[in-house]
Structures are given as C-alpha cells and as structure tokens.
Amino acid sequence: MPVLKSNLGPNRQPSPARSPRAVGSFRILALGLMALGMQALGHKAFAQDPAVVGRWGSLIKAELVPIHVMLLPNGKIMYWDRHDQGTHDMTPRIWDPGANTTTKAPNPGYDMFCAGHSQLRNGDVLIAGGHQQDFFGEDKMRIYNWRTNTFDAGLPNMNAGRWYPTATTLANGDVLITSGNTTGQTAFNEIPQVYEYRTRTLRTLTGAQQVIGLYPWMFVRPGNKVFLAGEDSLTRMLDVSGTGKWTTIGMTRSGKNRNYGSAVMYEPGKVMICGGGRQPPLASVETIDLNEGAPAWKFSDSMHFARRHQTAVMLPDGKVIVTGGTSGRGDNNVVGAVFNAEMWDPATGHWTVLAPASTVRIYHSFSLLLPDGRILTGGGGHPGEESNYLSEHPDFEIYEPPYLFKGTRPVIDAAPDTLFYGKTFALSTKVAGAPKVSLLRLAAVTHAFDHNANFNRLAVTRQSATSLLVTPPSDSALDQPGAHMLFLLDEAGIPSLAKIVWVTSPAGGSPLIAQPRGAGAFRLTVAGNRLRVAGLELAADAECILLNGRGERVAVLKRAAGPEFRLPAHGLAGAYMAVVRMGNRKHSGRIFIP
C-alpha cells in the first residue's frame, strides 16, 4: 500500500485564520488519528512508481471555488461558485486547460449554486433550479450555449423551487428533473418534471409524486425508465411515460443512507455505489445488475478508506477512480480528510490505493475525466471544513492514472465526427493486436455526483492492419445522445487521446423528427453536408427553412441533387424546426445538426 499522506505534512501550513492554540490542538489530534489509521491499515512505506499509483501535478489557481463543473464539447471547463459567502460573484468561468486561460461567461441572471445540470444533445448545458438561501430553491432554468458563450433565459419556470435537484438527460434528448428543496430543509419538490427538448416545455409527472433524497443518483434505463440508486437506501425505478410512475426495486444491502457518497453506471444496467454517510462515513461498496430478472444489491470489496464527499469517475478502460472525501464523523470533517485516490476494478471487485493528492478535497469538491485521459479535481469550501468554516480551495489539481506511464499511447488516425446508434463505422489506427474502444459522455458534476455520466465499451472487429470496424450502442437508452469522448485502448489498456464525437439516432441515418406534420411518411435525415428528404417528392422550387427555438428564421436551404438540401459548411450545429416549403404546401419536423 502506498504512503498515506498526512494532511499536516511539511507542505500543509495551518490557515492564518486559526488561533495558535487551535492549530496546536488540531495538529496533535490529526497526527494521532493518522498514526492510528496507518496501524489499522498495516501501512508500509515504499517508492511510489507512477506506473503503479499514478502521479499528481501541481496546484492550478482558479478564480472561484469550482463547485459546479462541466466539460464542454470544445474541451473547456465551465465552473461556478456560490456568491453569498465572501466576495465572489455568481458569474460562471470558462477555463481552457490547454492554454490555462480563464474568461467569464455572462451573468445568468440568478444564483445557480445548488442547481442540477446536464448536457443536451447539441452539447449545450441545461441548468435547473438554484439558490435563494440554504434549502430555498429557485424555480428558474437556463441553457448555456457553449458555441456563443450565452445564456438562454427564455425557458418556462418549474412547478416550484429546486435546491439540490438532479438533471438527467433521457434517451430522446429530453431532461428529467428530480427532487430539490423548495422553501426549507424539510420541504421537498416531490413531483418530477421533464424538460422536453423539442418543444422547450415542461411536462409534470403528477403520477410520480414521491419524497426522495437531494441530488438523487439517477441512471437511464430502456423503456422510458430511470433508476434511482440513492442516496436513500430504498431504491426505485421511475417510468417517465405519461404522468410518471414509481416502482420499488429494493433496499441496499447496507440499509444505510449514503449521504454525500458517489455512484456510477460502470456498464449499461450495472450500477456501483460507494461511501457516504456521516456517523461515521462508510467504506462499503455495493453493486446491482438491472439487466437481471430480479435485480438485487450485492456487496463488492470495500474501499481502503471510508469516505464522504468523494467523487467516483469512470475511466476509459472501464475502471472507476475515487478521489477526495473524509473519513471523519460529521458533515465536513477535515481531520479525517483522505488524500489517496483509489481505483476499483469491476472485473474483480478489488480496490487499489493510488498516490495521494496534496490538498483537502471534501465538501464542494469534484473530479472528472479529461479528454486526454487525466483526472481533473478541484474545489472544496463555501462553507469550508468544520475546523475552519471559512476555508476554501479555489484551485484545480490534475491526476495522471497509472495507464499513462505504461508505454506509448495509441492514436486515433481517423474516425467520423458523428456516430449513429447501431451503425458500424471505420476507425483508422496503426495500433496492433486486439484494441478496445470506449465511449463516455462529457461530465456535468457537483456534490460528489456526475449528472451526465455514461460509459459504453463498443464492439470492435479488425478490418485491416490499419482499420477497425466499431459499432456504437444500438439503443439511445444505453447511451444518451450528445457529445462524447471516443477512446481507443491498446492491449495494455493504454488509452489514446479522446476524439470528441456526436452520437445520435437511429441506425442508418439521423431521423430527428418528433411528430412530422403534413405527410404521413415524411422523414428528414442529416447525411454529411446534406439534409435528405424521404416520403415526399420535392418540386424544383422547394426550399427548407430552419427555425430556432424562438421561431426565428436561421437559414434557408436550397435544393441539391435528388431529394436533398445543402447544409452550410459550418455554424449551424443544434436543434431546429425544419419547414420544407413548395408553393403553398408546407411539411415540418424537428432535426438535429451535429
């Protein structure tokens, strides 16, 4: 086991805000607890080979405490803080990790602290709810357009405020919004709502009224279902069809509330939950396979460290890394801060202790996977640790997993920009042997849980020495539409740099029509730089008008050869109402242009 890093080593100086007496008492207590922990864990010191335990980089200054954090399709990081503690404004920041430059997004018009968020199928970020004061939620929503760096405020208000809701992108690109406090700690928004992407309206699930925990861990399943994995010990399935309906799946094995633990769906239908709780935090880990006829929770190996406020992150090789958290009793106990990362292997259920970070990462910290295969962590604070309530961590830290030290990285020489469900595509590479390919959605993480996470291992066959045939998931319930990271891994498990790709539906094309009007067989598909029309004979003077969500004309497409219209070379990615006009006749439907 690697060296356990004390939180009061030579690189950790006490905060000036603490009195000398408090610092001295805290130092003695912390060192004593660490010593006991090392004895209990059979601690042994040894050289930390990065090919075994990975490596942490230096701290990177941030302008705010990164509490809500999104990886955008352009590789930049969007983050924001709370503004009612200290002097921080409520304007999100856009950080470019490559250039290490930061710009401001516009002011969204309300405090988005404690909101839920997930990425739409065009890569824009839907933000639901927010902060009036602790436990009092906002009923507002916003959409952040990552291409134009603008906020869209022209959305309906929700049925009531939501403070600590979860936003979950569904198989059809809509977004489920669940839970959240309304007007106090015991006042919950009990009725889920669905933001319907095509109509920009909210559908209220009046048949699914139920008190569930804050920031619930929600995972999409086939058949218009969404699984509630926690933090509550009683797990459920929500049918989002019509007015909605909950059914009970069963209790977790621990039977404990995993408050501020973390969860991932590590394969389609397979969920892992870990840690959480407060008196004391838990080290236990449980899994459930929802593909089974009678799914039930099972214990996996426990983590080496009990943790609360940790974040679990899927890696390109299908393993799960956990960073940060505290083993101390209570809400946010710095004395028990855990510095070592750990990695879980679903194939064995075993955990491996990894290198220690340099900084406390507990309440309001985060972790996410970057397109280069590294893990970005950061934040913590507002409020700060129990021993120093005002402490905060406006910085980032990057962890390089062991797979980055095992050899030369494979390279994706070429792959399509857009993938279609179930449609095999060619991936060009010089990597030999039997490589693997994985597909992961971009992160939208806060409060120890990624609202946007998904992982799929794709089917791969070799076509030639330099070409692989790769098949995406066949069903958008297994992998929701939108921007993804496509990784290639060699036989040693070393990942390539990710290619950002767009996943859409269905196999053989991209029919992005909800309910076409004007012709029963009318259908539109996006095919390269063409918009193809089926089920309708186009006149010579036919044109296609694209309208945005406000009904404003964005472009007029002219006929190409055959039943097609020409798309502009760039600048039109997004969702539109397409109106095909021929004289006085009009036929319309919704399309998505990747």
The predicted model gives 174-181 an average pLDDT of 97
Q: Is 331 within the bounds of a domain?
A: yes
How far apart (Å, rounded) are the C-alpha atoms in residues 391 and 378?
14
Examine residue 443 and state whether it is found in any structural domain, yes or no: no
Q: Is residue 42 part of a domain?
A: no
Mean pLDDT, to the nearest integer, of 128-142? 97
Q: Label each residue of 397-444 as H, E or C.
A: EEEECHHHHCCCCCCCCECCCEEECCCCEEEECCCCCCCEEEEEECCE
In a domain, 120, yes or no: yes
Residue 154 and residue 90 share a domain: yes
User: Coil, strand or helix: which one is 164?
Assistant: coil
412 within domain boundaries: no
Give the residue, 499 or 45, on which the prediction is more confident. Answer: 499
Same domain? 389 vs 464: no
Half-sphere exposure of 9 (CA within 13 A, CB side): 15
Residue 24 domain-assigned? Answer: no
Mean pLDDT (the chain) is 87
Which of the two residues, 567 and 421, has the higher pLDDT score?
421
395 shares a domain with 427: no
CATH of the domain at 488: 2.60.40.10
Reply yes or no on whether the pLDDT at 330 is more than 60.
yes
Based on the fold, state whether residues 433 and 575 are members of the same structural domain. Answer: no
The answer on 322 and 464 residing in a single domain is no
* Whether the predicted pLDDT of 588 surpasses 90: no
Report pLDDT digits (tens) over 369-414: 999 999 999 999 887 676 665 578 999 999 999 999 999 999 999 9
Same domain, 460 and 527: no
pLDDT score of 254: 96
Kindly tell me if the per-residue pLDDT of 138 is higher than 80: yes
Could you tell me if 110 and 222 lie in one domain? yes
Is the model's pLDDT at 506 over the cut of 70?
no
Q: How many structural domains compose the chain?
A: 3
What's 546-567 look like in SS3? EECCCCCEEEEECECCCCEEEC
What is the mean pLDDT of the segment spanning 3-12?
Answer: 31
Do 497 and 364 belong to one domain?
Answer: no
pLDDT in tens, 527-563: 777 888 887 888 888 899 888 766 678 889 988 888 8
Q: What's the rounded Cα separation, in Å, for the pair 334 and 463?
A: 54
pLDDT at 24 over 50: no
594: pLDDT strictly greater than 70: no
What is the rounded average pLDDT of the residues 54-83?
A: 95
Q: Which two tokens stand for residue 558?
A: 């002219």
Domain match, 431 and 580 both: no
pLDDT in tens, 418-454: 999 999 999 999 999 999 999 999 999 999 999 999 9
Confirm whether 283 is domain-assigned: yes
pLDDT (mean) for 207-230: 96
Does 390 share its domain with 475?
no
- Tens-place pLDDT, residues 336-347: 999 999 999 999
Q: Give the CATH number for residue 572.
A: 2.60.40.3080
Looking at 429-514, which runs of residues are DSSP E strands?
436-441, 444-446, 449-450, 455-464, 467-471, 482-489, 499-504
Which of 1-10, 160-169, 196-205 shows the highest mean pLDDT?
Answer: 160-169
Domain hosting residue 489, numbered range: 418-437+456-504
Query: 476 with 421: CB under 8 angstroms?
Result: yes
Q: Say whether pLDDT at 165 is over 90.
A: yes
State whether 488 and 562 are in the same domain: no
Mean pLDDT over residues 263-276, rounded? 97
Q: Is residue 451 part of a domain?
A: no
Instruction: Report yes or no: 357 and 323 within 8 Å, Cβ to Cβ.
Output: yes
Q: Bigger pLDDT: 57 or 520? A: 57
Residues 258 and 349 in one domain: yes
